């Protein structure tokens, strides 16, 4: 939820900020004070997303999965790992909505509980990558010089490795686990985020108001925070949403390849690959987690596209 809350709240600071709004509003006291105002902002952002059918559908899907992640243990009738005696390979029924797998585990419960796994992992990975990437991108671009040059040469070389290949290489060396997947997400996405932020900062740096702030004798930290960061937020929000969708994609793919989250955790990608040998006996054990991945990814993509249209109007594709 953090990612979503972050997206929506930071977005409005921009759309509303024509001429009058304070550029420092993201950090100032008045912002913390206005909890009620924040709620109305989220409401307005949601209304904008619900204005178009495609992004409305996407947002709804995302919200449903977040609901599942939050209240999963209350919804799921069984535990994710419980092998119900005498109930292996059952077709979907009222007892087992999505049937049971070859080990007698309730597929519905595993899918519902798996939502928390993938959203937490992808969400936390995105949040860390976006935070670190933003800090690195902003300071390095604002400072310029050789620090900027070296760090971005290094980032470019990291980007020369296709993301999945880099992820596999790292996981192959450190061994698969949930925490290594998290570290891998951060390593893979920090350079990309830093690049996006850097390019926005480089163009903002030339603007008159930054020049004016510098002449007033403001410190670098304060200029970056109060003058540069607000102009980065729209692009950053869209980037965060995109990263989130790729992160879900990557976590699911790594799970499928068997190098991500390990059994018996209810990781959707892992569930798909474990159900494959038994596809003729228990097709439902394969299709329901696959459908869950598909719906979540489509939802995030449509919502991210909607955010982009709201925050960065005029930029196609």
For the chain, the first-to-last Cα distance in angstroms comes to 26
Q: Give the C-alpha separation, 97 to 79, whole Å.
A: 14
Residue 162 binds another protein, judged by CB under 8 A: yes
The answer to whether the beta carbons of residues 149 and 207 sit under 8 Å apart is no
Nearer to another protein, 37 or 154 (CB): 154
Quick one: which of 269, 271, 282, 307 contacts another protein (CB under 8 A)?
A: 269
Taking CB under 8 A as the criterion, the residue among 174, 212, 221, 281 binding another protein is 174
In the shown chain, the binding pattern of residues 44 to 83 toward another protein, with x for contact by CB under 8 A and - for none, equals ----------x-----------------------------
Figure out which of the listed residues 122, 305, 307, 309 binds another protein, where binding follows CB under 8 A: 305
Q: Which CB sits closer to another protein, 43 or 172?
A: 172
By the rule CB under 8 A, 294 interacts with another protein: yes
Cβ 92 to another protein, closest distance in Å?
17
Decide if residue 158 touches another protein (CB under 8 A): yes
Contact by Cβ (8 Å): 102, 281:
yes
Query: Residue 38, class by beta-carbon neighbours within 10 Å (0-12 exposed, 13-18 middle, 19+ buried)?
Result: middle
The per-residue b/e assignment along 221-260, b for 16 or more CB within 10 angstroms, e otherwise, is eebbbbbbbbbbbbbbbbbbbbbbbbbbbbbbbbbbbebb
- Give the per-residue contact string, 222-251, with another protein (x = CB under 8 A; - = no): -----------------------xx-xx--
Dihedral sign for Cα 215, 216, 221, 223, please: negative
Interface stretch with another protein, choices 68-76, 209-217, 224-232, 296-304 (CB under 8 A):
296-304
**Angstrom distance (rounded) from CA 229 to CA 131:** 12
Q: In this chain, which stretch among 70-78, 156-164, 204-212, 218-226 interacts with another protein, using CB under 8 A?
A: 156-164
At residue 20, the 3 state secondary structure works out as coil
Residues 170, 223, 224, 270: which binds another protein (CB under 8 A)? 170
- The span of 65-73, 110-118, 152-160, 209-217 binding another protein (CB under 8 A) equals 152-160
Residue from 95, 157, 203, 219 touching another protein (CB under 8 A): that is 157
Q: Which span sits near another protein by CB under 8 A: 5-13, 96-104, 126-134, 287-295?
A: 287-295
Is 105 or 309 the residue whose CB approaches another protein more closely? 309
Least distance in Å: CB of 191 to another protein? 11
- Secondary structure of the chain: what % helix, strand, coil (to 5)? 75, 0, 25
> Judged by CB under 8 A, does residue 316 bind another protein?
yes
Tell me the DSSP string of 148-169: HHHHHHHHHHHHTS-HHHHHHH
- Site size toward another protein, by CB under 8 A: 44
3-state secondary structure 249-275: HHHHHHHHHCCCCCCCCCCHHHHHHHH
As given in the structure block, the two tokens for residue 159 are 């980007």
The answer to whether the beta carbons of residues 214 and 193 sit under 8 Å apart is no
Instruction: Give me the residues that bind another protein (CB under 8 A), please.
Output: 54, 153-154, 156-158, 160-165, 168-174, 245-246, 248-249, 252-253, 256-259, 269, 272-273, 286, 290, 293-294, 297-298, 300-302, 305, 316-317
């Amino acid at each position: 939820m953090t990612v979503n809350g972050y997206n929506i709240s930071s977005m409005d600071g921009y759309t509303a900020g024509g001429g009058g709004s304070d550029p420092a509003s993201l950090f100032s006291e008045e912002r913390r004070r206005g909890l009620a105002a924040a709620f109305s902002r989220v409401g307005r952002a949601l209304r904008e997303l619900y204005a178009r059918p495609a992004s409305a559908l996407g947002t709804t899907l995302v919200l449903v999965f977040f609901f599942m992640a939050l209240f999963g243990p209350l919804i799921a009738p069984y535990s994710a790992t419980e092998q119900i005696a005498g109930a292996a390979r059952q077709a979907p029924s009222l007892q087992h909505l999505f049937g049971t797998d070859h080990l007698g585990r309730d597929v519905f419960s595993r899918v519902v509980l798996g939502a928390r796994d993938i959203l937490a992992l992808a969400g936390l990975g995105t949040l860390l990558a976006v935070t670190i990437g933003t800090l690195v991108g902003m300071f390095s671009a604002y400072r310029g010089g050789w620090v900027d040059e070296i760090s971005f040469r290094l980032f470019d070389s990291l980007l020369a490795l296709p993301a999945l290949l880099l992820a596999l290489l790292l996981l192959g060396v450190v061994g698969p686990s949930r925490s290594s997947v998290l570290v891998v997400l951060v390593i893979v996405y920090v350079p990309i985020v830093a690049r996006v932020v850097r390019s926005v900062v480089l163009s903002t740096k030339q603007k008159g108001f930054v020049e004016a702030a510098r002449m007033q004798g403001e410190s670098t930290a304060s200029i970056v925070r109060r003058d540069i960061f607000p102009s980065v937020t729209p692009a950053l929000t869209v980037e965060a949403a995109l990263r989130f969708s790729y992160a879900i994609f990557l976590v699911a793919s790594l799970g499928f390849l068997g190098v991500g989250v390990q059994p018996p955790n209810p990781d959707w990608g892992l569930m798909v690959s474990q159900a494959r040998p038994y596809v003729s006996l228990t097709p439902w054990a394969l299709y329901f987690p696959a459908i869950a991945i598909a719906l979540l990814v489509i939802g995030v993509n449509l919502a991210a596209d909607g955010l982009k249209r709201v925050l960065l109007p005029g930029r196609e594709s």
